[in-house]
Structure 1
Amino acid sequence: MRYCDGSSFTGDVEEVDSTNNLYFRGARVFNAILDELMGLGMNNAENAILSGCSAGGLAAILNCDKFRGYFPSSTRVKCVPDGGYFAHAKDVSGEYHFEQYYDKVVTLHGSANQLPSGCTSSMKPGLCFFPQYAIQYIKTPVFVMNSAYDTWQVSYILASSEADPKGEYTACKNDLNQCSTDQLKRLEEFRSEFLGTLWPVTNSTSRGMFINTCFTHCQSETQSSWYGNPTSKLDDKTIAEGVGEWYYDNSEVKKVDTEHVLPHYC
């Protein structure tokens, strides 16, 4: 599905922005694409996976139950977000600047009605855009594929321009070799906080995860990462093997890199 709306396919606003002639209807785009695919024969699928990278990975979480609803109960349906488990974590200033961004996204796109109602009834909708809160209310099995040092999150959640106005982390974000000892320590603290947000996955028998410490963003789109260069494997298992074993219920897969505490290039 070609990403086109800026809200991980949750937008649902009737009014058109007259100034820019913009439509905020990502949820309707999602529905239209699925309707067409089902009409082309996907309704006969025995196995179905909803996956995506980055904002598409977040979409795979937020739309997972909706995707499940298109298929009969006999179809094996699961969701595999890649690099989309964006953490509600403190930035280098000690604040939650990125939270304000999600508040604006949800308001602009009218996303609240497309988010899990159990979540939005207990906290503000902007927080329900964060996977750690939304996934608790997703019934369909989800496998989280992510780095604990996701480069996008390091750049835009941990050390964004708002959190780091002087650009002290700019060199470090672009090259790990340029990170100071204190900056590496702060990155390690972010890893710990990120791992803490995974408790809804850890405590579920139907959910799985593959969390390495590669300094990268999204790992299913390149053959070397998906099929496992040695530095991206966990317990000598590739991401592809982990997802496959979990998807077909061969084993419970919850892999976290404990060998590499600091970020590294894979």
Structure 2
Amino acid sequence: MVTEMKTTMTKSVNAVVAVTLALLTCAPWCIYSQQPHQLMVNMTTVRNAPALGAFCLDGSLPAYHIHRGFGAGARNWLLQFEGGGWCNDIDSCLERAKTRRGSTHLMSKWEVFSGILSNNASLNPDFYNWNRVKIRYCDGASFAGDAVYKNGTTLLYFRGQKIWEAIILDLLPKGLGKARKALLSGCSAGGLAAFLHCDDFTKYVPSNASVKCLSDAGFFLDERDIGLNHTMRSFYKDLVSLQGVEKNLDKNCTGSLPFPELCIFPQYALRFITPPFFILNSAYDVYQFHHGLVPSSADPRGHWNRCKLDPAACNPAQLDVLQGFRRDMLVALALFYKYSARGGMYINSCFAHCQSESQDTWFGVDSPRIHNKTIAEAVGDWYFSRRITNKEVDCAYPCDTTCHNLIPANTSSGLVEDLN
């Protein structure tokens, strides 16, 4: 019995030693991969929004979530536009108004802050102690519309521009008006909003503040689909017309093109943006792949369905089309890549859409990498000017083994649907 007890105790001690050594060996990576709790942040409603005419589609009040900065980051601000598609006709906007994408009444009142919004230094080393704000999306036009639709029985507010202004004005007395550093960012439709509002943002913060902008999965291309139709261009044209967006597009851009509505595309507006800009995008962005390049209207028999669900299932002809899309994206970014001294880029080859708000893709032990650099490291190096060059472009699919290919399960939803 004594011998058995000694053996058991020896095994227990060895087990403790083994676990201790493992923890010591894997730190700091263990910190990245283990999240003891999620940071939940409550919603703040903008009570004075009606004075500005700022309403969500259904007439509800706009809102945001704020988590206060601390220490050295107490006077730095990160604003993140929420994404979630668009609506470009009355029917789709009416439907949207009955969902969380068109009404703050139907939104979750608490939001998880992760990735670039995290308050954990080991999960978000450069922005964890900043004031971090998530701006809720409820207008359906990337915070850029300014119109109202009334027909006697139906009332829809297309007030994205006013929502943006109301939220900024609500934040100014809370410290944004005295910001030292500021980063305006966003994902998907929110990433497009970052392009549309980057210059405007500088008007609200002190002139000596360091102001920069980041778009995550917001570089939507003016690209023909596989049927050679301008699906995205047509969609955005209707969106701009319905929601009164044109007057809020960059005036230098609209004056330079025969079709002013094209300035909603970042590839045409980018050269007119003054603050330093960082473009984070997949060269095979799944939203654009599924809804711009291969919309259901261009593939009625579903020949692309397997390829949409799994890139490994794409046949050689389909891969050629995808490689062509990547080439077109890089061509559209060529001047920015070559001549923007203050700009940054991270164009990876992952089949994904939005990579800054997810901890797994932002900064973790198995996060995507280009030249062994995570997205968080690339964005931080660019913002704080830690490197001379801040433009990373991945090799073509399927060379990158670090990718998280985040393919949505439903490939049949239309362009106005949310893929998140």
Instruction: State the TM-score, normalized to the length of structure 2.
Output: 0.61
- Answering whether residue 311 of structure 2 is matched by residue 152 of structure 1, we say no
1:132-191, Cα deviation, whole Å (9 max, x unpaired): 001111111110000000000100111012222322212211222321121111111111
Residue correspondence of structure 1 range 1-266 to structure 2 within 5 A: 1-13=135-147, 16=150, 18-123=152-257, 124-202=259-337, 203-228=339-364, 230=366, 232-251=368-387, 252-258=389-395, 260=397, 265-266=403-404
- 1:64/1:138 contact within 8 Å kept: yes
Q: 1:48 to 1:17 in 2, by over 3 A?
A: farther
- Report which of the two has the higher share of strand: 2
Deviates more, 1:228-237 or 1:82-91: 228-237
Distance 2:154 2:277 in 1: 37
- 1:188/1:261 contact within 8 Å kept: no
How many residues are matched?
Answer: 266
Deviates more, 1:12-21 or 1:230-239: 12-21
Secondary structure in 1 aligned to 2:323? Answer: helix
Q: 1:200 to 1:43 in 2, by over 3 A?
A: farther
Q: 1:4 to 1:40 in 2, by over 3 A?
A: same
Q: 1:229 to 1:115 in 2, by over 3 A?
A: farther
Distance 2:324 2:149 in 1: 43
C-alpha RMSD of the superposition: 1.8
1:200-222, Cα deviation, whole Å (9 max, x unpaired): 42121121110000111010111
Q: 1:109 to 1:91 in 2, by over 3 A?
A: same
Q: 1:192 to 1:262 in 2, by over 3 A?
A: farther
| Letter aligned with residue 147 of structure 1 | S
**Alpha-carbon offset, residue 125 of structure 1:** 2.5
**Alpha-carbon offset, residue 20 of structure 1:** 2.9
Deviates more, 1:161-170 or 1:131-140: 161-170
Distance 2:224 2:364 in 1: 31
- 2:219/2:266 contact within 8 Å kept: yes
Distance 2:236 2:282 in 1: 21
Structure 1 gap ranges (5+): none
**Alpha-carbon offset, residue 37 of structure 1:** 0.5
Secondary structure in 2 aligned to 1:23? Answer: strand
Secondary structure in 2 aligned to 1:232? Answer: coil
Q: 1:105 to 1:229 in 2, by over 3 A?
A: farther
Distance 1:262 1:120 in 2: 39
Distance 1:172 1:15 in 2: 40
Percent identity over the alignment is 43
Structure 2 gap ranges (5+): 1-134, 405-420
Distance 2:292 2:317 in 1: 18
- 2:361/2:375 contact within 8 Å kept: yes
Distance 2:198 2:315 in 1: 40
- 1:97/1:163 contact within 8 Å kept: no
Distance 1:28 1:17 in 2: 22
Instruction: State the TM-score, normalized to the length of structure 1.
Output: 0.94
Distance 1:259 1:127 in 2: 28
Structure number with larger C-alpha Rg: 2
1:51-92, Cα deviation, whole Å (9 max, x unpaired): 111000000111001111111111111111111111112211
